[in-house]
């Protein structure tokens, strides 16, 4: 379908929806800008889960990001930290076993988490209130969950690829991230108008026209090949951009 045909089609479809029906939560994702890279590329959430994750980081002192590798937990945490704090501290307890042993030993001695963080990074504890600390793969250092229960002045993003006992971190903001669904994939690749098409026809109980159906099937095949992991989708989008510029 041409651009003018798409515009006319959506306009006609929208006339059959109420005001509330016309507001899609998927469309809200694109409005949430975290920051720009040095090259000017905008950094935005790509899923509703990522948007919730970023919103929670903005509001809370301690946020738990849970989900499989590749869903954007660490990437978004670091981009947010770079954009909103003068400096951030980062530890990955899966890759840095020495750090895990250090934190465990010092916490067992009765030190607070902020004292241990300051000692590990060899800095004065009073400066931690100006920073944000990213503790990655905390499931590899279980004692950290209990240490986070203590009151401290640090802003902390705790990340885990494994599912944690939600009861053990009930006092914190808790967000689980997933790969992109098909609707989120459409939005990410710039075909979000199809989301409104699917939603509108579903609510109006009308079949999608064959030409639109064929286009959606082609996009769904692309989705199956690319998958829903944000890193893979980013790579796919970059390859499309490169091909269009050649």
Q: What is the full DSSP assignment across the chain?
A: --HHHHHHHHHHHHTTS-TTTT--HHHHHTT---EE-TT--EE---SHHHHHHHHHHHH-SEEEEE--TTSSHHHHHHHHHHHHSS-EEEEETTT-HHHHHHHHHHHHTT--HHHHHHHHTTS-GGGGGGSEEEEE-GGGSTHHHHHHTS--S-EEEEEESSPP-GGGGTTSEEEE--PPPHHHHHHHTT-THHHHHHHHHHHHT-PPPHHHHHHHHHHHHHHHHH-S-HHHHHHHHHHHHHHHH-
pLDDT (tens, 9 = 90+) of the chain, 246 residues, equals 455 554 454 444 444 434 344 445 555 555 666 655 555 666 666 777 778 878 887 776 678 788 888 888 898 888 888 888 889 999 999 999 999 999 999 999 999 999 999 999 999 998 888 889 999 998 898 888 888 877 666 888 888 887 666 555 556 677 888 888 888 898 888 888 888 888 888 888 888 888 888 999 999 999 999 988 888 888 888 887 545 444
For residue 224, what pLDDT is reported? 92
């Amino acid at each position: 379908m041409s651009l003018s045909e798409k515009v006319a089609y959506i306009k006609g479809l929208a006339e059959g929806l109420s005001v509330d029906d016309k507001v899609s939560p998927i469309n809200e994702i694109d409005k949430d800008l975290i920051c720009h890279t040095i090259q000017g590329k905008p950094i935005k959430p790509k899923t509703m889960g990522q948007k919730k994750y970023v919103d929670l980081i903005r509001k809370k002192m301690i946020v738990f990001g849970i989900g499989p590798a590749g869903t954007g937990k660490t990437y978004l945490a670091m981009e947010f930290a770079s954009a909103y704090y003068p400096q951030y501290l980062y530890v990955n307890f899966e890759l840095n076993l020495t750090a895990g042993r250090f934190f465990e030993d010092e916490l067992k001695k009765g030190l607070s988490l902020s004292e241990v963080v300051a000692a590990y990074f060899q800095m004065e504890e009073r400066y931690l209130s100006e920073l944000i600390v990213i503790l990655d793969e905390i499931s590899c250092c279980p004692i950290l969950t209990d240490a986070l229960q203590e009151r401290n002045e640090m802003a902390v993003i705790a990340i885990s690829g494994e599912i944690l006992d939600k009861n053990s971190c009930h006092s914190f903001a808790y967000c689980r991230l997933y790969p992109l669904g098909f609707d989120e994939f459409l939005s990410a690749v710039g075909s979000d108008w199809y989301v409104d098409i699917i939603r509108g026809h579903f609510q109006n109980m009308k079949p999608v026209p064959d030409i639109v159906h064929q286009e959606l099937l082609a996009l769904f095949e692309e989705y199956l090949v690319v998958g829903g992991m944000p890193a893979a989708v980013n790579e796919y989008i970059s390859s499309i951009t490169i091909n269009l510029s050649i």
